[in-house]
Amino acid sequence: MIAITRYRVPGPEAAGFAERMTAVLDALAASPGYRSGRLARTVDDPGLWALVTEWEGAGFYRRALGGHEVRPAFVPLAAMAVDEPGAYEIVVSRPEEGGDTAGRSAGQRSSKKL
């Protein structure tokens, strides 16, 4: 699953936001079930950021957010989060090496190239 959390960051806070969110991402990366993550900022609206992470499942993501290493860095930034659903089940994927994982759960996906 992927988790996408968007943040509305006021101009004065933008300078330190990437550094502070990097600490959150580093803490998340040390959590069980973490696969990958990135922080991005829109090119059309520099005050809108997104933290995108990939997890083995929603439970791993939710437990990581409550972790003792994550909470102190994450909670102060959560006030800038856009209030919207952020956990997404992957329905279709096109991995770099090819192959279609449409309609199959994580346990049913194979690495077979089509």
pLDDT tens track for 2-23:
999 999 999 888 889 999 999 9
Please state the rounded mean pLDDT for residues 40-45.
Answer: 94
The rounded distance, in Å, linking the Cα atoms of 61 and 5 is 12
Helix axes 11-29, 71-78, angle to 10 degrees: 150
The rounded distance, in Å, linking the Cα atoms of 75 and 72 is 6
The rounded distance, in Å, linking the Cα atoms of 71 and 50 is 18
The rounded distance, in Å, linking the Cα atoms of 4 and 54 is 9
How many CB atoms within 10 Å of residue 65? 18
Of 11 and 24, the structure prediction assigns the larger pLDDT to 24
39: pLDDT strictly greater than 80: yes
Residue pair 66/105 in contact by the 8 Å Cβ criterion: no
Please report which confidence band the pLDDT of residue 99 belongs to, taking 50, 70 and 90 as the band edges: low
113: pLDDT strictly greater than 70: no
Of 67 and 103, the structure prediction assigns the larger pLDDT to 67
Q: What angle do CA 80, 86, 87 make, to 5 degrees?
A: 145
Predicted TM-score of the model (pTM) = 0.78
